[in-house]
Structure 1
């Protein structure tokens, strides 16, 4: 029996890596399709004479379904896992894209945006759970590999939309449904692997009942989760200041063209995608709390300087900001999952949902502030958001417990 197990280990390892690659690719496709909603706002506003409030309602509908449902989906699937939930979730995204392409009224647009949001609410917590299952114990590496696909998709989405949706109009959104179908095929194969793992877990459950669980009281776990959510608030408020308003800032302060501003935005989003790769693997080696410390407070010197430099240094500074700040999210999720290892889906859903929600609220609040003051003032205020990283000191140190559990 030992010889069979040893000879099967390379095959299992290869299967796990292929699953992580499939999840990352699916995340890329998912976030490219999500980014289309923002890209078609100018088209929808002109075609249907929408007000800014109605545009905001489209965002609200998407964020409501994408953020609030995620922890509920994770909570349910923690108790009733279904191997093909990822495929079904991508099916909602497919239907949403078709509805957005064919919508001829404001209510129909809201339904399409809501369907895309539902697809996202199923995808993120379940994909995060499967990534952890395929990690082979390298939880940070697996989470980062999954996350980098999403950030790459967010970076590519606006470029693809500018070359396809803008010149060809609303019906061209249907072309992106091919990506949803491709993701469904990839995720169906992931579901087959997931089904095998679920069957194996059920068979060997009496032998694998022990879990690496930090011996912390429930109130301490709850307090740590609260601190992590505060850190996510600071991270995503600052990120949305760049992802939503960076182009306007560049055009207003430095008089750059729209096309040049989009290129500079892509530089920042590309740095975010690259930065995602590092947080998880580094956390596996040095501890996730250490990564969280560095990824939040580490950007403070750059964010404080950014509003006071010329165009060249503004673009340069967004690179370390994106690289460092992006490393936080994977570390936060894995750290939280180690605090509550029996509810990894609910934790992933809570964190993804809260991040989406903060991004939506942040976009509205910072837009209101820019209207009342100026876009330059927004960046002067946001420069101090990384100071919230000081709350990391309140997080318990779980590293000795992790090492003891693995010894």
Structure 2
């Protein structure tokens, strides 16, 4: 892996952007500026993103985040992709078939076009220095701040455990370690993840103020918000692995057709694109439009009075055509499970080298090298 560009070591921030907040409107304005800067000089950015290996990735993941990762990689942005196996334990007692889920996640990454030669794919549990950063970072955040984090509140509310673990409570600070270990300065997030990223920025800022002695040891990463579409599951609620309403990337053409046939619509025969008034129908229209690179209004007009049956046939054809190359790549990579482990070994080695260097730098700043 190439050495980290010097420009990445400091925060890249608009002069008008507040240092103490990531309001949504400001974040969206800054994201537009960041997109321009990425196209001008992608080498000044380093991205950290990732997923928890809790099940098969689905179409919502693809159009929401995965497609954007490949785009950034192709633009030349240095990309780190975390398989967050430790974070599986935040809301469950046992990580069932964790090894299998990790392999499936890597398989999806390769199938969508992430290139291990250009993107570092690694696992939490294989990078000890990353996890050691959690301890000093926790000392920089108060219990009250963690209590106020709305994302943690939501995750706790939807936890399937009878009680909340300490790991769940400290999740935002662990995520800060995920981002800062490699000195990522750009994090693609949805609007609901802005509070998590603000904790990371707070940790970096407080560490620099307390231990930096006038230098920025850690960057304050910025949010890259994308207009990610919200795709509903087959039951009309948000598409989710845990709700059993998703269309997986690994699904074949027949399974995809079966799932789309059972998707919820409404009783009105004429098809329109009206996300507020007709969310289920509009989500299907949007899915077809994303696959065909068309405006959803055009798709709806084309189907017209064909009804739900015609809509579902149209969506099935669009999805199966779009994802056919991805499915072929996935089948190819699945023939060599050893390659998946090699990808992780190589990514873990790169991640460990960076994490060791960052931990040493952090300990030196804290005057705790012995």
TM-score by length of 1: 0.21
Give the structure, 1 or 2, with the largest relative contact order (CA under 8 Å, sep 6 or more): 1
Higher strand share: 2
TM-score by length of 2: 0.22
